[in-house]
Amino acid sequence: MPLATAPLATAPLATVPLATAPLATAPLATVPLATMPLATVPLATAPLATVPLATVPLATAPLRYYLRRRFNYNCRKSISELLWKNNHHQCLMERDGGRDGPKLRYFPVNKEFREEFEYSNYPFVLAGYSTERLRGKAWEDDVTDTIFRALGMSDTRVSAHLEASDWDNVAYSYCHRWGHFHINPEQEQLTLITNVCPAGCVFSTAQDMAKWMKFHLSGGKDESGRQVVPTATLRELYRPVSAVPPADIGPPTFPVEDTRSTYGLGFYNGRYRGLRKVYHTGSYSSYNCRMSLLPDVSVGVWACVNSPGDNRGVTAAKLVNQFALDLLLGVEPWLNASTACSFPSPWLTPSREHIQRNYPDTTTQYNSPTYVGVYANPAFGNFTVYVTNDTLPDLSYKFGRLLSGRLQPSERDDKFYMTLDEPLTYRMTYDPRYSAGFPVYFTLRTQGFDVKAVSVTVPYLEFSLPPVFTKVVPGSKMNAGQRTHSDILVFIVILVISSLL
């Protein structure tokens, strides 16, 4: 779930000495504006079969009824279970909704329901779409009016509301390639998050994020003490829904305890130095953000870095959180200038795993017509392979609005490496294994004397369960899902904002 994809107006964190800037105003990142989600809708008051929807006012009808009657949503589970990050298609919509979002009913089953925690942004898109139908208002307008304005967050924008003048105040993110730092194309790639806005599309400032944290720490009040959201609603957001894999440090290896145990409706739960902690992280472009709240002592920290986009940014945001929490708690920080840079050393020796890099084999000869064509996947849309040079034929591909590039040969006929054209080229710097391209795999079939590709698997679009695209035979009929061109798939896990009902 992330929020804050780019702090509007602030200096990069590296230019603001933490010791000299007030915590409330230093650009310490983007907070998850997480979560005024479906917690305010009654989840279940009577068996589904016994309450005709026509007799229940739409504004008070449990959302589960609405999804079933309007969208053929047949899962008998609660909304809390729907928002539990799981890709089980039986508990998602069975008819395409709006927002040009993913075709959720076509998504394959990765894990059985409640078998294992798995983070996913798509259910939050569904949640935002549901609020639009229930409240008759675009999610972007609703969250702006109901939350941002109510809390006085006047410098906070959803991506769809950004104006040309706003970009002069945006702290762009950076990637490191060819020995230099380069600005990422934030405006050009904005559609990546705008199309899935409820899953994270908010631009904000350090000052506004301080208001957001105070809102949570005060039990739902604005700075004047006015109750904006009931305290019970916020508690429902933090309430554990599922266990999650631990991501802990603690004695005897480390001098303090910092743990993670469960996930609620947009917040992780854990403990820091024995105190109850709710927090969330998120990434987009080269931004890495983290917000940590200690509700029992009314302490909160929000931190964000805008480079380099890999795990170093994740670690930096976490360490800033831990250092700032210690300052606010009035205890001696366990991190200092030396150990913050060497972490996890001296407490733990970093593992040095061998990185197997991918390199194209430019000597491989291949027959271009074998691979050329349109490949369709009902959930993701079309992946098109075509020839770009008639003299020395090179294979290229296109997917959605932004993703395109070359397909470079490997040592195998069925394997190629896909490069990323601008504006997404910078993403090839994040993982050294794929600096020369991401692997794609064709399924080849012999037809008489010819060899033809009948499908292509593209792990880059979803590494945990790579989608398979089947070649479309000219003149054949495709189902509705295949006819619909995919809008942009979000390639990264980003923070999410849920909306208030």
Backbone angles phi, psi at 321, to 5 degrees: -55, -50
- Distance, in Å, from the CA atom of 425 to the CA atom of 420, rounded to the nearest integer, reads 5
List the one residue out of 241, 356, 303, 298 whose CA is nearest residue 2: 303
Domain-embedded: residue 490: no
Cis amide prior to 37 (ω within 30 degrees): no
The verdict on residue 38 lying in a domain is no
Q: Is residue 118 part of a domain?
A: no
**Percent of the chain scoring above 70 in pLDDT:** 70
Most confident range, picked from 1-5, 118-122, 242-246, 333-337: 333-337
Return all residues near 182 (Cβ < 8 A) that are at least 6 apart.
174, 175, 176, 426
b/e per residue 299-331 (b: at least 16 CB within 10 A): bbbbbbbbbbbbeebbebbbbbbbbbbbeeeee
For the chain, the domain total comes to 1
Task: Please give the backbone phi and psi of residue 85, each rounded to the nearest 5 degrees, phi first.
Answer: -65, 95
398-403 long-range Cβ contacts below 8 angstroms, 24+ apart: 399/458, 399/461, 399/486, 399/489, 400/485, 400/486, 400/487, 400/488, 400/489, 401/191, 401/487, 401/488, 402/188, 402/189, 402/191, 402/192, 402/488, 403/488
Which region among 112-121, 196-205, 326-335 has the lowest average model confidence (pLDDT)? 112-121
Is the model's pLDDT at 294 over the cut of 80?
A: yes
pLDDT at 64: 59
Q: Picking from 127-131, 143-147, 416-420, 466-470, which range would have the lowest pLDDT averaged per residue?
A: 127-131
Percent of the chain with pLDDT over 90: 44
Q: Is residue 22 part of a domain?
A: no
pLDDT digits (tens, 9 = 90+) for 229-287: 999 999 999 999 899 988 889 999 999 999 999 999 989 999 999 999 999 988 889 99
- 372 with 387: CB under 8 angstroms? yes
Query: 359-365 long-range CB contacts below 8 Å, 24 or more apart?
Result: 359/436, 360/408, 360/409, 360/410, 360/417, 360/436, 360/437, 361/409, 361/410, 361/411, 362/408, 362/409, 364/409, 364/410, 364/411, 364/413
Q: What is the pLDDT of residue 201?
A: 87
Q: Name 382's bridge partners.
A: 376
393: domain range? Answer: 368-483
Which residue type occupies 339?
A: T
User: In this structure, are strands 6-7 and 202-204 parallel, antiparallel, or unpaired?
Assistant: parallel
Confidence band, pLDDT 50/70/90 cuts, at residue 445: very high
Question: 35-39, 89-93, 202-206: lowest mean pLDDT where?
Answer: 35-39
The answer to whether position 152 is within a domain reads no
Question: Does residue 333 fall inside a structural domain?
Answer: no
Asked whether residue 171 is assigned to any structural domain, the reply reads no
CB 280 within 8 Å of CB 32: yes
Instruction: Work out the average pLDDT over 304-315.
Output: 88
Residue 434 within a domain: yes
What would the pLDDT profile of 45-68 be if each residue is shown by its tens digit? 223 233 333 333 444 455 555 555
